[in-house]
Structure 1
């Protein structure tokens, strides 16, 4: 009888250990992200999976992939610029805009532990990176697009300089670093100003809400747009065209 009692006590004592071991063994592996085979470090908030999509903190991704990111606390909007590409996401909204075109998202940007989390596949592909998923290691693999392309010298004829002919429609006409947009309010009237530099000889327009205005460009490519209309406009669209090339930028006004 004592032997049976001792065996029962021992069995009960082992149950929590076994349950803990089984739980630990089944715990999901941490999601990792690599760029060109180099691990991206997330110092505080780690990547998570929501609705079968991987969300990552935007800042470490931006620093590793080399694009510019801005955060508007008032509108809860993430704005990303890389080359001629402009991407905008609003937290909790299942839509995004790439170069002014609306795109539906499977999962929206979210705030988790005071960090802005974005769907990594959408962001990477929108900025023309290659994205793959390694199920075995639970790793998102991001690579420069050209690194996965065949050698152009074996596929297409080279120019006389031995380099691939550039795409005539990919050049940037807008100097994004020069742009400045400000709004003033007088009574119920909004005063809007957008200035900056574009490729000299470009045709430039500024769109406020649903109205588009032509902008005079000086010989050196500088321009300044001023317009008074109703108050409350927060965003603008700048468009430059030259020799069949088109460059578009969506920006936000800074309130005085």
Structure 2
């Protein structure tokens, strides 16, 4: 066999071996050559490693939305995410090429995906849809996000900005935010804390109790009402005493009970007697009640002589009877005949 034929035969064998060992279509595995992601100068500590797919950076969905001030809801059955920020509403089905911003379609170059248990979304697409700007530094492999922030929440009473959502010795106060200071609420942390950004770009946690800021939301109010009711429930059966002293909890009358629960759990200081308590807060209709609202009734010949906490499902928590003490009761005809007004305190 000539030298030329041997060379051609060797090339043919090599080609055959390569074609049988390599797949016909090899999908590019997602890689993560992103060194760091900063948001408004702060390094993000992500729950999962960023992915780089077709030159698009994907990061964990919840952090991406919430760190930019959007409130997120997730439907696991349909794999649909809904995010709201100010006047923006985004809806997206994971895996699709189109999202909807205020009803208008927006195309994604790379769809969101679920990777190792994390729902990953395109960083630039989401950030820019929420009004942020995104810059990529190829030399340092760093992403920098600058958010569009509205400082709309007002501090009503001096409150500590803390490094963790905790007021124990494990948490330190970064500074005191004075009355009148404006902050941006990043997200709610349970019933009693808000993660906020200050106007000088500090990020920390402040108390979510109503006395400290004018921030409100339906979800926060519901969580705080649940905490309020659970706390009041601790006193079930506690004896009734008309005119009970407010500096003790061995006995209660209706208004001292309500006053104690509101003050101790939510730092809301109410007047001592039900007639004056009925002047606080915001009046709501009987068909607009939500958990935590106060209901006021006529009693003992007075226009307003009794108060109860509405706990939902047409039930109230109150005290007026030496036999029952603090107890739950149905808001039935007996009470509706004496109903005067309902007030919302938070």
Q: TM-score, normalised by structure 2?
A: 0.34
Q: TM-score, normalised by structure 1?
A: 0.45
> Higher relative CO (CA 8 A, sep ≥ 6), structure 1 or 2?
1
Max radius of gyration: which structure? 2
Q: Which structure is higher in strand share?
A: 1
